[in-house]
Structure 1
Amino acid sequence: MTSPRRAPGGFPVVGIIGGGQLARMCQPPAVNLSLTLSILSESADAAAALVVPSAPVGSHLDVDDVLAFAKECDVVTFDHEHVPPEVLQALVDTGVPVHPKPEALVFAQDKLAMRERLTELGVPCPAWAAVRGEAELTAFGDVHGWPVVLKTPRGGYDGKGVRLVGSGPDAADWFAHGEVLLAEERVPFTRELAVLTARSPSGQAAVWPIVQTVQTDGICTEVLAPAPGLDPALAAQASQAALTLAGELDITGVFAVEIFEIAGAPGTAPSYVVNELAMRPHNSGHWTMDGSVTSQFEQHLRAVLDLPLGAVSPRATWTVMGNVLGGDYDELYPTYKHLLARDPGLKVHLYGKGVRPGRKIGHVNVYGEDLDDLRARARHAADYLEGTVTA
Structure 2
Amino acid sequence: MSAPTAAAVPCHRPAPVVAVIGGGQLARMMQEEASALGVHLRALVEAADGSTGQVVVDAPVGEAGDAVAVRRLVSGTGAGTRPGASAAQLQAAVPADVLTFEHEHQDSGLLAGLVAEGVSVQPGPDSLLLARDKIAMRRAMAEIGAPQPAWAEVTGTAEQIRAGIESFASHHGWPVVLKTPRGGYDGHGVLLVGSAAQLRDGQAATWVTATAAAAAGGPGGAATLGGGSLGGGAATSLLVEQAVPFTRELAVLMARSPSGRSAVWPVVESVQAGGICSEVIAPAPGLDAAAAGLARDTALAVAEHAGVTGVLAVELFAVEAPGEPTRLLVNELAMRPHNSGHWTQDGSVTSQFAQHLRAVLDLPLGSTEPTAAATVMVNLLGGETEPDDDAWARALAADPGARIHLYGKQWRPGRKLGHVNVTVPGDPSVPASPEAVAEARRRARAVVAVLRGEA
Q: TM class, shorter-chain normalised?
A: over 0.9
Residue 128 of structure 1 corresponds to which residue in structure 2? 151
Deviations 1:333-361 (A, max 9, x none): 62232222221111000101111011111
Residue 161 of structure 1 corresponds to which residue in structure 2? 189
Structure possessing the higher radius of gyration over alpha carbons: 2
Q: Is the 8 A contact 1:63 1:90 kept in 2?
A: no
Residue 334 of structure 1, aligned match among 390, 393, 401: 390
1:327 Cα shift? 2.1
Aligned-residue CA RMSD in angstroms? 1.4
Cα distance in structure 2, aligned partners of 1:293 and 1:239: 18
Q: Is the 8 A contact 2:21 2:45 kept in 1?
A: yes
SS at match of 1:294: coil
Asked if residue 215 in structure 1 is aligned to residue 272 in structure 2, the reply is yes
Deviations 1:39-76 (A, max 9, x none): 00111112101100000001111111111211121110
Letter in 1 for 2:35: V
The 5-angstrom pairing of residues 1-391 of structure 1 reads 9-72=13-76, 73-132=96-155, 133-166=161-194, 167=196, 168-170=199-201, 171-177=204-210, 178=212, 179-264=236-321, 266-330=322-386, 334-369=390-425, 370-387=436-453, 389-390=454-455
Percent identity, please: 55
Cα distance in structure 1, aligned partners of 2:37 and 2:387: 33
Q: Is the 8 A contact 1:66 1:91 kept in 2?
A: no
The normalised TM-score by structure 2 is: 0.82
Q: Is the 8 A contact 2:394 2:450 kept in 1?
A: no
Q: Is the 8 A contact 1:327 1:356 kept in 2?
A: yes
Deviations 1:137-191 (A, max 9, x none): 1111111111110000001000000001122325221122232000000000000
1:332 Cα shift? 6.6
1:304 Cα shift? 0.3
Residue 215 of structure 2 corresponds to which residue in structure 1? none
Cα distance in structure 1, aligned partners of 2:44 and 2:280: 29
1:267 Cα shift? 2.3
1:248 Cα shift? 1.1
Cα distance in structure 1, aligned partners of 2:405 and 2:381: 12
SS at match of 1:315: coil
**Structure 1 unaligned blocks of 5 or more:** 1-7
Residue 4 of structure 1 corresponds to which residue in structure 2? none
Cα distance in structure 2, aligned partners of 1:298 and 1:365: 17
Letter in 1 for 2:170: D
Residue 224 of structure 2 corresponds to which residue in structure 1? none
Letter in 1 for 2:58: S
